[in-house]
Chains A and B, each alone.
Chain A
Amino acid sequence: MSKYKKHIMVCGGTGCRASESDTIVEKMKKELENRNLDKDVQVVITGCFGLCEKGPIVKMLPDNTIYTEVKPVNVTEIIDEHIIKGRKVKSLLPADSYKGKTDSKNMDSFKKQIRIALKNCGFINPEVIDEYIASNGYEALGKALMEYTPEQTIDIIKKSGLRGRGGGGFPTGLKWEFAAKSKGDQKYVVCNADEGDPGAFMDRSILEGDPHSVLEAMAICGYTMGATEGLIYIRAEYPLAIERLQIAIKQAREYGLLGKNILGSGFDFDIILKLGAGAFVCGEETALIHSMEGLRGEPTIKPPFPAESGYNNMPTNVNNVETFANIPTIINKGAEWFASIGTKKSTGTKVFALAGKINNVGLIEVPMGTTLREVIFEIGGGIQDGKKFKAVQTGGPSGGCLTEKHLDTPIDFDNLIEAGSMMGSGGMIVMDEDDCMVSMAKFYLDFTVEESCGKCAPCRIGNKRLYETLDKITQGKGTEADLDLLRNMSHVIKDTSLCGLGQTSPNPVLSTLDNFWDEYIAHVKDHKCEAGQCKSLLQYNIIAEDCVGCTACARVCPVGCIAGEKKEVHIIDQSICIKCGACMDKCKFNAIELI
Chain B
Amino acid sequence: MCDSKIKLKEKDIAKIKEICEFFDNKAGELISVLHRCQSEFGYLPPEIQDVVSDFMNVPVAKIYGVVTFYSFFTMKPKGKYPISICTGTACYVRGAEKVLDEFKKELNLEVGETAADGKFSLSSLRCVGACGLAPVVLVGEKTYGRVAPDDVKEILAAYEN
Residues in chain A within 8 A of chain B (CB atoms):
14-15, 18-19, 51-55, 195-201, 204-205, 236-238, 274-280, 291-297, 312, 353, 355-357, 361-362, 393, 396-397, 427, 429, 431, 435, 440, 443-444, 447, 453
Instruction: From B26, B34, B92, give the contact of A277 (CB < 8 A).
Output: B34
Q: Is B89 in contact with A277, judged by CB distance below 8 angstroms? A: no
16 other A-B residue contacts (CB within 8 Å) besides A15-B132, A237-B128, A277-B35: A14-B128, A18-B143, A196-B126, A201-B129, A201-B131, A204-B129, A237-B125, A274-B32, A278-B72, A294-B26, A294-B29, A294-B66, A295-B30, A361-B90, A361-B132, A444-B89
A–B Cβ pairs within 8 angstroms, 28 of them: A14-B128, A14-B129, A15-B129, A198-B89, A199-B131, A201-B127, A201-B129, A237-B72, A237-B128, A238-B129, A276-B31, A277-B31, A277-B72, A278-B70, A278-B71, A279-B71, A292-B28, A293-B28, A294-B28, A294-B29, A294-B66, A295-B30, A297-B69, A356-B94, A357-B93, A429-B93, A443-B92, A453-B69
Interface string of B19-55 (1 = CB under 8 A from A): 0000000111111101100000000000000000000
Chain B interface residue count: which class?
35 or more
Q: A239's closest neighbor in chain B, by CB?
A: B141
Instruction: From B26, B27, B71, B88, give the contact of A198 (CB < 8 A).
Output: B88
Determine the distance from Cα of A312 to Cα of B35 in the docked complex, in whole angstroms.
Answer: 21
Q: Is A199 in contact with B69, judged by CB distance below 8 angstroms? A: no
Shortest distance from the beta carbon of A449 to any chain B beta carbon, whole Å: 13
Assess whether B1 is interfacial by the CB under 8 Å rule: no
Q: Is A291 in contact with B93, judged by CB distance below 8 angstroms? A: no
Please name the 3 residue pairs, one residue from A and one from B, whose CB atoms are nearest each other, closest first.
A52-B132, A198-B88, A277-B70
Determine the distance from Cα of A581 to Cα of B55 in the docked complex, in whole angstroms.
Answer: 56
Q: Is A15 in contact with B89, judged by CB distance below 8 angstroms? A: no
Instruction: From B30, B89, B128, give the contact of A393 (CB < 8 A).
Output: B89
Determine the distance from Cα of A198 to Cα of B65 in the docked complex, in whole angstroms.
Answer: 24
Q: Is A198 in contact with B29, judged by CB distance below 8 angstroms? A: no
Determine the distance from Cα of A463 to Cα of B131 in the docked complex, in whole angstroms.
Answer: 27
Which residues B102-134 have CB closer than 8 A to chain A?
125-134
Q: B70's closest neighbor in chain A, by CB?
A: A277
Q: Is A396 in contact with B89, judged by CB distance below 8 angstroms? A: yes
Q: Which residues of A are found within 8 Å of B128, using beta-carbon distances?
A: 14, 237
| Residue of A197, A277, A296, A396 ringed by the most chain B CB atoms within 10 A | A277
Determine the distance from Cα of A291 to Cα of B71 in the docked complex, in whole angstroms.
Answer: 13
Determine the distance from Cα of A276 to Cα of B133 in the docked complex, in whole angstroms.
Answer: 24
Contacts between the two chains (Cβ within 8 Å), count: 128
Determine the distance from Cα of A52 to Cα of B66 in the docked complex, in whole angstroms.
Answer: 35
Q: A198's closest neighbor in chain B, by CB?
A: B88
Q: Which residues of B are found within 8 Å of A14, using beta-carbon distances?
A: 128-130
Q: Is A199 in contact with B30, judged by CB distance below 8 angstroms? A: no
Q: Which residues of B are found within 8 Å of A396, using beta-carbon distances?
A: 89
Determine the distance from Cα of A542 to Cα of B125 in the docked complex, in whole angstroms.
Answer: 39
Q: Which residues of B are found within 8 Å of A18, using beta-carbon distances?
A: 130, 133, 136, 143, 145
Shortest distance from the beta carbon of B143 to any chain A beta carbon, whole Å: 4
Q: Which residues of A are found within 8 Å of B131, using beta-carbon distances?
A: 15, 52, 199, 201, 353, 355, 361
Q: A51's closest neighbor in chain B, by CB?
A: B132
Q: A205's closest neighbor in chain B, by CB?
A: B129
Determine the distance from Cα of A185 to Cα of B116 in the docked complex, in whole angstroms.
Answer: 55
| Residue of B70, B72, B131, B143 ringed by the most chain A CB atoms within 10 A | B131
Assess whether B81 is interfacial by the CB under 8 Å rule: no
Q: Which residues of B are found within 8 Å of A297, using beta-carbon distances?
A: 69-70
Determine the distance from Cα of A237 to Cα of B128 in the docked complex, in whole angstroms.
Answer: 7
Q: Is B30 in contact with A294, judged by CB distance below 8 angstroms? A: yes
Shortest distance from the beta carbon of B134 to any chain A beta carbon, whole Å: 7
Shortest distance from the beta carbon of A136 to any chain B beta carbon, whole Å: 27
Shortest distance from the beta carbon of B41 to any chain A beta carbon, whole Å: 16
Q: Which residues of B are found within 8 Å of A295, using beta-carbon distances?
A: 30, 66
Q: Which residues of B are found within 8 Å of A356, using beta-carbon distances?
A: 89-90, 93-94
Q: Is B127 in contact with A199, judged by CB distance below 8 angstroms? A: yes
Q: A356's closest neighbor in chain B, by CB?
A: B93
Q: Which residues of A are found within 8 Å of B129, using beta-carbon distances?
A: 14-15, 195, 201, 204-205, 237-238
